């Protein structure tokens, strides 16, 4: 009897109508050095993490040119190239890195084009399955930024376009330029300001990729619902945070990241956690 990989228990979502992935993905930001700057302390372990993720059934990897910068994309190529046909690598541009923990929006269309070309080279592919605008830069018209990605899509260099850290109004405006396949905003049990955007994504079957998915805020207080329910399931609060996201919405694709194989195994096992409606409601209360 063949046992399915753990991540497959998360179910699937089809991005852009033609890219079906399992709903528990992997975010590569934490594979880099301190401050998301420079190479990892243990490069061999970073490579093992990526390969182990595939073994566990993960087929959606989220990265960006700014992680390192460039380091995460290079690690993905080293670990996973040549890519399996069912493996999706999503990357981003739109944030300039000038030092540790420094992130400056840069949406100059020629820069975005350059970074698409460079990501193609670093990843070793002819087309990026999902390319996301990391931030909309207020210094340039948003339609010019999205429009440049749309032009690259027409040239066959991008398959689908996504946006990060946007509002519902910005999503609507971008859709007047080109179809949007995904949205990536900060979202977790404790930070749910993007609920209106999530609802818009649900209505239009757009993938919602929450970053900082393990946040729990006051929910993790001693005796609180997160610790109580985690203990009942014999799992860690971080695993419960992922399970909550998976139950929250069918368009949700959580991407918890880590630089250690042991932590990866813990995160992915959350795909097999089934919350009752009562447990989900207790974790979803706005004030704890």
Alpha helices in 124-260 (DSSP H): 142-154, 168-175, 195-204, 225-233, 237-248
Q: Helix or strand or coil: residue 186?
A: strand
| Contact predicate 133/112, CB 8 Å | yes
Nearest Cα to Cα of residue 64 among 78, 74, 53, 51? 74
Residues 242 and 9: their CA atoms lie apart, in Å, by 13
The residue annotated as part of the active site, out of 67, 70, 83, 187, is 67
The question of whether 187 is a catalytic residue gets the answer no
> DSSP readout, 85-145?
TT-EEEEEE-EE--STT--EE---HHHHHHHHHHHHHHHT-SSEEEEEES---TTS-HHHH
Sheet holding 182-184, edge to edge: 26-27, 60-62, 88-93, 128-133, 158-164, 182-184, 207-208
Instruction: Give the residue numbers annotated as catalytic, written as ranges.
Output: 67
């Amino acid at each position: 009897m063949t046992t399915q990989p753990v991540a497959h228990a998360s179910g699937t979502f089809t991005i852009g109508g033609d890219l079906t992935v399992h709903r528990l993905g992997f975010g590569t930001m934490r594979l880099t050095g301190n401050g998301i700057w420079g190479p990892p302390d243990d490069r061999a372990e970073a490579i093992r993490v990526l390969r182990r993720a595939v073994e566990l059934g993960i087929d959606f990897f989220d990265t960006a040119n700014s992680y390192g910068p460039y380091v995460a994309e290079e690690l993905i190529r080293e670990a996973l190239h040549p890519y399996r046909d069912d493996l999706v690598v999503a990357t981003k541009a739109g944030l300039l890195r000038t030092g540790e923990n420094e992130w400056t929006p840069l949406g100059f269309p020629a820069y975005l084009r350059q970074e698409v070309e460079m990501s193609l080279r670093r990843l070793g592919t002819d087309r990026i399955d999902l390319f996301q605008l990391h931030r909309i830069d207020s210094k340039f018209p948003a339609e010019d930024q999205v429009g440049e990605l749309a032009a690259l899509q027409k040239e066959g260099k991008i398959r689908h376009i996504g946006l990060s850290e946007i509002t519902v109004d910005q999503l609507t405006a971008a859709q007047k330029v080109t179809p949007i396949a995904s949205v990536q905003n900060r979202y977790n049990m404790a930070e749910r300001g993007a609920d209106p955007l999530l609802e818009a994504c649900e209505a239009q079957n757009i993938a919602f990729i929450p970053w900082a998915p393990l946040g729990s805020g006051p929910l993790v207080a001693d005796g609180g619902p997160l610790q109580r329910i985690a203990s009942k399931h014999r799992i860690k609060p971080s695993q419960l945070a992922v399970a909550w996201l998976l139950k929250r919405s069918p368009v949700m694709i959580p991407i918890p990241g880590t630089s250690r194989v042991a932590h990866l195994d813990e995160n992915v096992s959350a795909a097999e956690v089934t919350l009752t409606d009562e447990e989900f409601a207790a974790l979803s209360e706005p004030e704890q």
